[in-house]
Amino acid sequence: MLAQTPPMGWNSWNTFGHLINEQVIREIADAMVDLGLRDAGYEYVVIDDCWSLYERDENDRLVPDPEKFPSGMKALSDYVHSKGLKFGMYSCAGCMTCARRPGSFDHEYLDAQTFADWGVDFLKYDFCYVPKHVDGPSLYRRMSMALKATGREILFSACNWGSDEVEKWIRSTGAHMYRSTGDICDNPQSYIDISTSQIDKLAYSAPGCYNDIDMLICGMGGKGNVGAGGCTPVQYKSHFALWCLYQSPLMIGADIRNIDEETLALLKNKELLSILNDPEARTAAFIRGGDRRSFVKVLANNELLIALFNFTDQGDGMTFVDLTEVGVPSFSGYGLSGYEIFTGEKTGLIKDYLKVDVPAYDCKLYRMKLQKI
C-alpha cells in the first residue's frame, strides 16, 4: 500500500519552474544518492509543469518537449530507477496545466496509460482550467481510476490548493496526498501563513492520504522560481520542523546539486524524520498561542512531543506550556522528562509547567516521557 507514511522526494518547481531538462533531472537523481537523501527516505524525483509540448501528437498523446528531454521520458525514468529512486511527473485535471500545456481533462485514461508506459511511479495532478460543468471530486476520482486501470502502482498526488473543502472528500477519490494551500514562497511569512491555515485541518491527514502543505523551501536562499527574499537558516529549521510536525509529504524544492551542509543535515535530521514517520501517525494538536505557538503530539512508545515555535523577530519572552493541557496534571503524581531534539539538552523532571525561551523565529521540540514525581 502506498503512502503509509508521508511521501518524500524532490520536485522541480520551486527552483526550476519551466527551466527543466533531462540533464538537470539526472544530476538531481545522482545528488539524491550521493548526498544520502535517498537513504534518508527521499525516494521520488518529480518533474513538475512545463515538460511537454503545447500540442498533443496525432494519436492525441502528450509529447515531452524534445529540446528539454531529447532521450524521452522512458529513458529518463529508467535512469532514475537505476539509482534506486522513483520517477514522478505532473499533469492537470483541467484542459490546460497551470502553465498552459495540454491538461488531462477528457484524456485521463489515455494519459494515465502513457505515464505508466513511461514507468511513472508518482503523478502530481493540478487543478487549473477545469471546465465549469464538472466538479473536483469526480475529476480526481476519474484520474485515480485511470491510474489504477494501468495496473501500475502510481502514487496519486492531488493539487487543488484546498478548494471545495478538499480535506473532506479527497481521501474518497483514491488520492494519496493532497495540496491544501496555495503555492509556498521562499520567505518566512509564507510558511507561517501556510501552517496557520491548516491548524484546524490536521486531523484529516493520516496514513494512505496526507495533507500536503507544499514543497519545501529549505536551502533555497531566495534563488529560484518561488524566490521572494529567502529565509535564514533558523527560519528554514522552523519551516522543516513544522512540516514534520504536521506529517506533510516532504518534497525538497532546492537545487540539491548546490546545497549547503546545514540544510542537508536538516533534511536528514533523524529525530525530525522519526516524528514525521512515527508508527502511530497521530496528528499534532494545537495547544495555544498566536505568534508564539505550542503543539503536542502523542508518539509511539508512550512518548510525547511538545513543540514550541516563536514566529516573531523578538527573542525575549517565555513560552509556557501548562502540563495539565498536555494531559499530565500535577495531581496525577507524574511529570515529564526528556530532551530537546535539536540540541539534545535534557529537561530534567518537569512538573506543572514547561517554561522555555524560544529565540526569534526559532523552535524547540521536546521529546518527553512520563516520570513519577
By beta-carbon proximity to ligand GLA, the closer residue of 161 and 286 is: 161
Q: Interface with ligand GLA includes 125 (CB under 6 A)?
A: no
By beta-carbon proximity to ligand GLA, the closer residue of 126 and 255 is: 126
Q: Interface with ligand GLA includes 99 (CB under 6 A)?
A: yes
The answer for 99, left when phi > 0, alpha when psi is -120 to 50, beta otherwise, is: alpha
- The two counts, helices (H) then strands (E), for the chain are 12, 15
The answer for 165, left when phi > 0, alpha when psi is -120 to 50, beta otherwise, is: left
By beta-carbon proximity to ligand GLA, the closer residue of 185 and 307 is: 185
Q: What angle do CA 92, 211, 195 make, to 5 degrees?
A: 110
Task: Tell me the closest approach of the beta carbon of residue 97 to ligand GLA, in angstroms.
Answer: 6
Q: Interface with ligand GLA includes 325 (CB under 6 A)?
A: no
Q: Which stretch binds ligand GLA (CB under 6 A): 96-104, 230-238, 241-249, 351-359?
A: 96-104
User: 160 is written with which cell numbers?
Assistant: 487543488
Q: Which stretch binds ligand GLA (CB under 6 A): 93-101, 249-257, 271-279, 289-297?
A: 93-101
User: 218 is written with which cell numbers?
Assistant: 529549505
Task: Tell me the closest approach of the beta carbon of residue 90 to ligand GLA, in angstroms.
Answer: 6
Rounded Cα distance between 273 and 276, Å, is 5
Q: Interface with ligand GLA includes 303 (CB under 6 A)?
A: no
Q: What angle do CA 335, 339, 345 make, to 5 degrees?
A: 130
Rounded Cα distance between 262 and 219, Å, is 8
Q: Interface with ligand GLA includes 49 (CB under 6 A)?
A: yes
Q: Interface with ligand GLA includes 126 (CB under 6 A)?
A: yes
Rounded Cα distance between 368 and 170, Å, is 34
By beta-carbon proximity to ligand GLA, the closer residue of 159 and 192 is: 159
- Could you tell me which of 111, 118, 95, 108 has the C-alpha nearest to residue 62? 111
Rounded Cα distance between 35 and 41, Å, is 12
Residues of span 7-36 touching ligand GLA by CB under 6 A: 13
Q: Which stretch binds ligand GLA (CB under 6 A): 35-43, 53-61, 95-103, 349-357?
A: 95-103
By beta-carbon proximity to ligand GLA, the closer residue of 49 and 340 is: 49
Kindly state the greatest CA–CA separation across the chain: 75
Residue count, binding to ligand GLA (CB under 6 A): 10
By beta-carbon proximity to ligand GLA, the closer residue of 46 and 305 is: 46
Q: Interface with ligand GLA includes 159 (CB under 6 A)?
A: yes
Out of 48, 108, 278, 362, the only residue in the binding site for ligand GLA (CB under 6 A) is 48
- Could you tell me which of 11, 20, 190, 46 has the C-alpha nearest to residue 123? 46
Assign 31 to helix, strand or coil: helix
Q: Interface with ligand GLA includes 183 (CB under 6 A)?
A: yes
Q: Which stretch binds ligand GLA (CB under 6 A): 69-77, 92-100, 333-341, 355-363?
A: 92-100
First-residue to last-residue Cα distance in the chain: 43
- Could you tell me which of 297, 285, 308 has the C-alpha nearest to residue 362? 308
Q: Are strands 334-340 and 363-372 parallel, antiparallel or unpaired?
A: antiparallel
Out of 8, 63, 98, 231, the only residue in the binding site for ligand GLA (CB under 6 A) is 98
Task: Tell me the closest approach of the beta carbon of residue 49 to ligand GLA, in angstroms.
Answer: 3
Backbone angles phi, psi at 156, to 5 degrees: -105, 115
| Catalytic residue annotation | 126, 183
By beta-carbon proximity to ligand GLA, the closer residue of 105 and 361 is: 105
Positions in the binding site for ligand GLA (CB under 6 A): 13, 48-49, 97-99, 126, 159, 161, 183
